[in-house]
Amino acid sequence: MDRERIERAVTEILRALGSDHINGEVADNTPRRVAATYAEFFKDIDRDPGDVLEVVYQEQYEEMIVMRGIPFHSICEHHLLPFIGTADVVYIPQDGRIVGASKLARAVDIAASRPQLQERLTQQIADALVRKLDPLGVLVRLQATHLCMTLRGVQKAGSSMVTSAIRGSFYRDPAQRAEALTLVS
């Protein structure tokens, strides 16, 4: 990440807003602060969310595993404003391959650490689980509030978007899918 380039770009944005509205402290320090914020938000931009799913345990368990309410935040690639929400992850292990609960949350964080669309983020999390765990089924559900929708444009405060990605047996078996959706609703 080129922090100096980000600082120059933010300096230009501040200038474009008009120097009459920007005090000296802001002009001097905000570009550095924004670059530091982006470095923090996007620290895992080059990582594959599946990287953290490499540590797999063998446990004779082939029922649904559900991790609900994983908080996340990402940046909308269309407006560079945050969207904030929770992720629910459900999978059915195959051949006893399970992963630690914290790894599911970490995979969500890594996938969210780049300019994103919620739809793509949902798919990336599900696909990482499929690639690394080869489970019988995966269901990922994200619910988020988009500041690009609540603070600007249509300004619909309180609205949220829900997306899901369904793989394997959850896709093929309506009863399994219904049970998984009930567990995350």
**Catalytic (active-site) positions:** 76-79, 118, 146, 148
| φ/ψ of residue 178, rounded to 5 | -60, -45
Angstrom distance (rounded) from CA 107 to CA 38: 19
Angle between helices 101-112 and 118-133 (to 10 degrees): 140
Per the rule left: phi > 0, alpha: psi between -120 and 50, beta: everything else, 34 is alpha
Burial of 40 (0-12, 13-18, 19+ CB in 10 A): exposed
Length of the chain (residues):
185
For residue 11, the SS3 value is helix
> In angstroms, how far is the first alpha carbon of the chain from the final one?
38
